[in-house]
Amino acid sequence: MSIRIVDYKEVDMTDEEYGYYQQIAQEFSDKTYSGKEQFRDTFEVDSDACIVLIKPPLKKQVAWAVLCFLQNLMINQRMRRVERWVMEFINDRKNDS
């Protein structure tokens, strides 16, 4: 995994996830607006750069594509974390044998 910067926060993302983030930002950009603004103040991360809270702002509109992407990313991050824990557990059990 790689740590990327989104909305001035460190976020753990695969290259594919980061590429999709860039596509979403590009899709919502025009001459006067950066699509990256869609992500501003929409999520919080923990010390491991994993999303822990998705919080759509109440005073601005956020595209569904952005919210769905963030939700999917949060789930993917947690699944990767669980996979690492399971692999560590299996490796520890093998070493104990």
Tell which residue, 52, 21, 15, 50, has the closest CA to residue 38.
21
pLDDT in single tens digits along all 97 residues of the chain: 699 999 999 999 999 999 999 999 999 999 999 999 999 999 999 999 999 999 999 999 999 999 999 999 999 999 999 999 999 998 888 887 7
DSSP 33: B
- pTM for this predicted structure: 0.88
Please state, as a whole number, how many other Cβ atoms lie within 10 Å of the Cβ of residue 69: 18
The residues, ordered by sequence, that sit 6+ positions from 38 with a Cβ below 8 Å of its Cβ are: 24, 25, 28, 62, 63, 66
